[in-house]
Amino acid sequence: MTDSYWLSEPAEQLPRVTCGGPVDVVVIGGGVTGCSCALTLAEAGLRVRLYEARRVASGASGRNGGFALRGLAISYPAARERFGSTAAEALWRFTERSLDRMETLAGDALRRVGSLRLADDEELAAVRAEYEALRGDGLSAEWVDELGSPLAATFRGAILHPGDGSLQPARWVRRLAARAAEAGVEIAEETRIESLEDLEAEHVVIATDGYTHGLLAELDRAIKPIRGQVIVTEPLAETLYPRPHYARHGFDYWQQTPDRRLVLGGRRDRSLETEFTNEESITEPIQAELETFAAELIGEEPRIEHRWPGIFGTTEDELPLVGRLPGRDRVWVSAGYSGHGNVLGLGCGELVAQAILGSPAPELQYFDPARVLYDEAV
Ligand SMILES: Cc1cc2nc3c(=O)[nH]c(=O)nc-3n(C[C@H](O)[C@H](O)[C@H](O)COP(=O)(O)OP(=O)(O)OC[C@H]3O[C@@H](n4cnc5c(N)ncnc54)[C@H](O)[C@@H]3O)c2cc1C
């Protein structure tokens, strides 16, 4: 099936809410970011309408690998180099708080089982340095030397991030949307916004990540779509990978579900150029790579029951754009997590909501869209 395993779980009907007439805030995009932002705004008493072109969680939020990781798309040492130790630590702690908040909202859609960042010969020094940097700044991390078969044949060690988790991401975001609707958000599914012009709202929040296209020229330039592909096997006899595992700069990622299916994604580097696209389709070369890798991880060829593509948005510096758009007073954005948006999307959706509510948090400064966007009117 070329559909997301996560989205194949039946969705419950969302509570019906109608605001009628102009609202305080329109949110565009019904993934984790849009739902998070809308929930925080509605809880503060604002009138909010959320538009989703397809169904809630039908974008990357329901098509990803299900890793709930703290941090950013860039490594901790890279964040330290860019922002300094104090700010890097503050950003990591911000995402840890988002994970804790996710745990309070997600119910059984999140399991805090930790994650394993594996290092092969090529990455060993860098991954070990990341471990030292995290520990040096007082952040939790454990070093794992002993890896069982078959991992030990390729990998020399790993960082165990004990607070990370495994998500059923579609269940999680549908739950978040239901919370938002219960708080008073009108959710209009199957409604694509073609232009911001006619939206009757004091503020507009663009939360479309890799599906950002055609709304504003400057966002189309700043956020580039990348396709990721994922497969899911039949339930396996044993649980070999009980937590998220990732390796090779994040190009390979896998984990098993509670019913022992292997979820495996990546291998984008097999064909980097073709994967810079917003075309939501699977391709033979990457699917073949994923199947071969699944057989290596399991020791035999499994039956593949689901295959699907998804699109995420990336920026030049791999940091999201979060905040008000230069030169456009009422327009805000939160997008461009560069493949790392499950936890960041929750946190950054809230950051935008807090800023609209008049209480901008200090973390916003690191994601200011003005670093790459300029005021088109000037
Ligand atoms: C294959 C894959 C694997 C990934 N694995 C992980 C992972 O394991 N861990 C992790 O942290 N991150 C992962 N990511 C990234 C993560 O999924 C995204 O960063 C995150 O889901 C972004 O959420 P979002 O709400 O911002 O955007 P999305 O969930 O993509 O939602 C955007 C929504 O906007 C809607 N939309 C777009 N344009 C319009 C319009 N004009 N009008 C109305 N609606 C519109 C779309 O239909 C879409 O539903 C992965 C991504 C992919 C594709």
Which residue is associated with the tokens 């920026």? 315
Q: Is 73 part of a structural domain of the chain?
A: no
CA of 339 to the centre of ligand 1 (A): 9
Nearest Cα residue to 369 out of 347, 336, 330, 346: 336
What are the backbone dihedrals phi and psi of residue 138, each rounded to the nearest 5 degrees, phi first? 80, 15
Q: Is 101 part of a structural domain of the chain?
A: no
> Three-class SS of residue 227?
strand
Q: Is 59 part of a structural domain of the chain?
A: yes
Token output for 326: 């230069």
207 lines ligand 1 (CB under 6 A): yes
Same domain, 59 and 11: yes
C-beta separation of 228 from 210 below 8 A: no
CATH number at residue 278: 3.30.9.10
Q: Report the pLDDT value the prediction gives residue 1, as an integer from 0 to 100.
A: 60
Bridge partners, 224 (sequence order): 314
211 lines ligand 1 (CB under 6 A): yes
Same domain, 258 and 272: yes
Q: Is 332 part of a structural domain of the chain?
A: yes
Same domain, 210 and 250: no
341 lines ligand 1 (CB under 6 A): yes
Helices (H), 207-283: 217-222
C-beta separation of 59 from 313 below 8 A: no
Q: Is 86 part of a structural domain of the chain?
A: no
Same domain, 292 and 235: yes
Q: Is 376 part of a structural domain of the chain?
A: no
Same domain, 153 and 301: yes
What are the backbone dihedrals phi and psi of residue 250, each rounded to the nearest 5 degrees, phi first? 85, 5
Q: Report the pLDDT value the prediction gives residue 271, as an integer from 0 to 100.
A: 86
Nearest Cα residue to 193 out of 210, 214, 179: 214
326 lines ligand 1 (CB under 6 A): no
If one counts every other C-beta atom within 10 angstroms of the C-beta of residue 112, the result is 15
Q: Which of 209, 212, 243 to probe ligand 1 with, by most ligand atoms within 8 A of CB?
A: 209
CB contact burial 135-173 (16+ within 10 A = b; e otherwise): eebebebeebeebeeebeeebbbbbbbebbbbbbbbbbb
- pLDDT averaged per 10 residues, the chain (length 378): 89 93 97 98 98 98 98 98 97 98 98 98 97 98 94 96 98 98 98 95 98 95 97 97 96 97 94 92 96 96 97 97 95 98 98 98 97 69
Nearest Cα residue to 115 out of 43, 80, 166, 178: 166
Cα gap 346→314, rounded to integer Å: 17
Which residues have C-beta within 8 Å of that of residue 314, sequence separation ≥ 6?
Answer: 73, 210, 223, 224, 225, 226, 336, 338, 339
Same domain, 131 and 236: yes
Q: Is 120 part of a structural domain of the chain?
A: yes
CA torsion 122-128-134-136 (nearest 10°) is: -140
Residue range(s) defining the domain that contains residue 301: 113-164+224-310
Cα gap 120→152, rounded to integer Å: 9
Which residue is associated with the tokens 């700069």? 249
CATH number at residue 329: 3.50.50.60
Q: Report the pLDDT value the prediction gives residue 132, as an integer from 0 to 100.
A: 98
Same domain, 228 and 302: yes
DSSP H or E segment with residue 225 = strand 224-235
- CA angle, 49 then 50 then 52, to 5°: 145
Q: Which of 208, 280, 321 to probe ligand 1 with, by most ligand atoms within 8 A of CB?
A: 208
DSSP H or E segment with residue 155 = strand 155-161
Q: Is 194 part of a structural domain of the chain?
A: yes
- DSSP annotation string for 44-99: TT--EEEE-SSSTT-SGGGTS--EE--S-SS-HHHHHHHH-HHHHHHHHHHHHHHH
Same domain, 160 and 175: no
Considering its fold, how many domains does the chain have in total?
2
Q: Which of 295, 310, 325 is the last residue of a domain?
A: 310
Same domain, 159 and 12: no
What are the backbone dihedrals phi and psi of residue 48, each rounded to the nearest 5 degrees, phi first? -130, 135
Query: If you take atom 52 of ligand 1, which residue's CA is the nearest one?
Result: 64
How far from the centroid of its chain's Cα atoms is residue 152's Cα? 29
Same domain, 13 and 117: no
Same domain, 263 and 153: yes
Q: Which of 292, 310, 328 is the last residue of a domain?
A: 310
Cα gap 339→342, rounded to integer Å: 9
Token output for 220: 């189309």
Q: Which of 285, 310, 335 is the last residue of a domain?
A: 310
Same domain, 297 and 179: no
225 lines ligand 1 (CB under 6 A): no
